[in-house]
A and B are shown apart, each in its own frame.
Chain A
């Protein structure tokens, strides 16, 4: 799987609010399916379905513990998605800082013009 396909999977997995909430929960420590289904007020099969999508995207993995099989967060794909978003942020943050300065200049000119007229 190349970088573009991995990003597609990551963003597709992140496009669901329940799955994002599961990741937020797992960011504070691993949890079993039973533990995860409680706060989300969802059935275990419904949670398992979301977990499969997250697992397929490589965002979570399963622990070895036979009974609980706790799910845990895998940081690499999220870091890759974040890097991609960061490029976006960098591009526009740099641009918009200069735009702020330009807009200030335009407002000053505008005020001067208005004063001359009035």
Chain B
């Protein structure tokens, strides 16, 4: 069993990003935390950001509307439309970021539970070339560290080599 608390981010194909994270809680609880506004507002968003708008219509064909506000007052909005809902095991939605044209990204979230711990695997499939890297670009600054250390970290993220690494 993977350790709790470690976020794994991989890019299995050029249009997908996969997030994997283990939570020390049963999956119904994790599912609720992802779908109930009174819970979402307590955690959703990067450090320093808060969820100032959070509306959820938990039905297939329904969706959600989120607006995040950053420390400098900058806002970032997103909305989603639910395609499939099988609580607490799986949900599929299409996600649109405000100011980002075109079709949304297809997000498939799968929750599995073992020994009271829940593994979340979220696959984000971007339909068009522009959307993938625009997802979180708005509002968040991060200095690039063009060092070999970083590079080794990135390579370590990718799955192991098939024919040896000698």
Give how many A residues have a beta carbon under 8 Å from the other chain's beta carbons. Answer: 53
What's the Cα separation between A89 and B150 when bound, in Å? 14
Given A27-B151, A95-B45, A100-B23, verify A21-B9 contact (CB < 8 Å): no
- A87-118 toward B: CB 8 Å interface, digit per residue (1/0)? 11111111110111111101100100000000
A51 to B146, CA, bound (A): 22
Dominant secondary structure at the A interface = helix
Given the contacts A41-B163, A91-B46, A100-B5, A79 and B150 also touching, CB distance less than 8 Å:
yes
* B14 touches A (CB below 8 Å): yes
CA distance A21 to B156 in the complex (A): 11
Q: Do B29 and A107 have beta carbons less than 8 Å apart?
A: yes
Q: Select one of A21, A78, A89, A91 contacting B151, CB under 8 A.
A: A78
Known: A15-B14, A40-B163, A107-B29. A92 touches B153 (CB 8 A): no
What would be 7 A-B contacts, judged by CB atoms less than 8 Å apart? A8-B129, A73-B151, A78-B154, A79-B147, A82-B153, A91-B46, A96-B43
Q: Which residues of B contact A (CB under 8 A)?
A: 4-5, 7, 9, 11-14, 17, 19, 21, 23-25, 29-30, 32-33, 39, 42-49, 129-130, 132-137, 140, 142, 144-148, 150-155, 157-159, 161-166
Closest 4 pairs between A and B when the two form their complex, measured CB to CB? A21-B161, A11-B14, A94-B47, A98-B43
